[in-house]
Amino acid sequence: MKDAVQTAVVGVTGYAGAELARLLLRHPRLKSAPPVFAGRLDEKDAALGGVPLVEIHPQLADNNGTAALKLQLFSWQLLAERGVDVLFLATPHEQSREWVPEALARGMRVIDLSGAWRLNSAKNRAIYAFTDDGTEHAAGTQSKSVYGLPELHRTRIADAHLVANPGCYATSIILALRPLVGAGIVDLAAGIVADSKSGVSGSGKAPSAKTHYMYAADNLSAYGVFAHRHTGELLEQIGLSSAQIVFTPHLLPIPRGILSTIYVRFLKPQTRESIVQLYRTFFADSPMVRLYDNTLPQIQYSVRTNYADIGFQVSPDGRRAVIVSCLDNLLKGASGQAVQNLNLMLGWGEAEGLE
């Protein structure tokens, strides 16, 4: 890798793309090489050389040259001319399925924020209905993909050429459950319940009937019951069967943030101290996870930060626990995690540009 790493972002116009641009523009290691921003443009904007970034996201304006940056028409030639080393894709799943193999063939390392390459099981991938699934070409790309949850796979991420950034709901639940399930103390036969709630930005920037103000405001609604795309990530990364967990997402009338309330039973009685020690040991080298010992996290504590917050309460008989996990769906649930993965891939401090 060159001394000055050149990144590129495709999909900067969305909410996660805006946060990714903000983090990369302010990253201490990337000051000499701002990202290349590329995407689709109409004929008029393409003829003008692109659209100024600050017209798309005025909040990114600063006195360090952002006014000169533009969203340019995407082409592989553009990325080659600019010497792109690491490509971030904040694109729809179908687009990432098409572009990731090409980027890898051109020698770029890729961090994909979509669900295109997260799932190893064909059964779990079926929910996406990828048209190329089952082909030798797709299988070859999938075999190169590393699930980009640093707290689980930081060693593999460091050597990866393709990192599949996790889903936001999945991140909040996996971080809360993997230490307990991995320790063998959870009664899986009793079942796990994960009740998650997210702000409307989790649905993306494109408006829909259910993210319209008149629907979302003063409302709380469940959706994707037994059918949410992040369920497969939970099964694969925690090591569960579909019969062992019920995951229900809900839409909160707030702009951003996720709170997951998770209910488990233990095989044997546990103490608060034993669970605290288990979490502390598991996350000892994880700078972007905060453990709450004496209180439960809330969305307002983690929103607009890159942290995942975890707290819990154990029942008086020690046989049950309620775990609360909070994060910002656009940061630790998307763009902040992508930058955390970038840091690992380039051998930088995991929390650089994030704290």
Domain of residue 283, CATH code: 3.30.360.10
Considering the domain architecture, whether residues 291 and 162 belong to the same structural domain is answered as no
Q: Which domain holds residue 67?
A: 7-166+334-345
Domain membership of residue 353 (yes or no) is no
258 and 270 part of one domain: yes
Number of folded domains in the chain? 2
Same domain? 59 vs 104: yes
The answer to whether residue 121 sits within a structural domain is: yes
Contacts (Cβ under 8 Å, ≥6 apart) of 339: 20, 23, 24, 27, 306, 353, 354
Contact yes or no for 108/40 (Cβ under 8 A): no
Task: Give residue 165's Cα distance to chain centre.
Answer: 5
> Do 37 and 158 have their domain in common?
yes
Q: Answer yes or no: do 221 and 317 share one domain.
A: yes
Residues 61 and 162 in one domain: yes
Determine, yes or no, domain membership for 82.
Answer: yes
For residues 121 and 180, what is the distance between their CA atoms, to the nearest angstrom? Answer: 23
Beta strands in the chain (DSSP E): 7-10, 36-39, 51-52, 70-73, 86-89, 109-112, 145-147, 162-164, 192-198, 221-222, 245-251, 258-265, 289-292, 308-314, 320-327
pTM of the full predicted structure? 0.96
DSSP state of 186: B
Among residues 79, 168, 194, 327, the one annotated as catalytic is: 168
Q: Are residues 130 and 177 in the same domain?
A: no
The answer to whether position 354 is within a domain reads no
Q: Are residues 105 and 134 in the same domain?
A: yes
Residues 114 and 153 in one domain: yes
Instruction: Please tell me whether residues 17 and 51 are part of one structural domain.
Output: yes
Q: The tokens 């488990």 sit on which residue?
A: 264
Q: Is residue 217 part of a domain?
A: yes
Tokens of 69: 């940056």
Q: Is 168 a catalytic residue?
A: yes
The residues, any chain, with a CB within 8 Å of residue 140's CB and separated by 6 or more, are: 101
Is 2 inside any structural domain? no
pLDDT tens digits for the chain (355 residues)? 566 899 999 999 999 999 999 999 999 999 999 999 999 999 999 999 999 999 999 999 998 889 999 999 999 999 999 999 999 999 999 999 999 999 999 999 999 999 999 999 999 999 999 999 999 999 999 999 999 999 999 999 999 999 999 999 999 999 999 999 999 999 999 999 999 999 999 988 888 888 889 989 999 999 999 999 999 999 999 999 999 999 999 999 999 999 999 999 999 999 999 999 999 999 999 999 999 988 999 999 999 999 999 999 999 999 999 999 999 999 999 999 999 999 999 999 999 999 9
Domain match, 72 and 220 both: no
The neighbouring-strand residues paired with 259 are 197, 326
Give which of 115, 119, 146, 173 is closest to 334, Cα–Cα: 115
Neighbours of 176 (CB within 10 A): 27
Q: How far apart are CA 295 and CA 289, in angstroms?
A: 15
From the centroid of its chain, how far is CA 63? 30
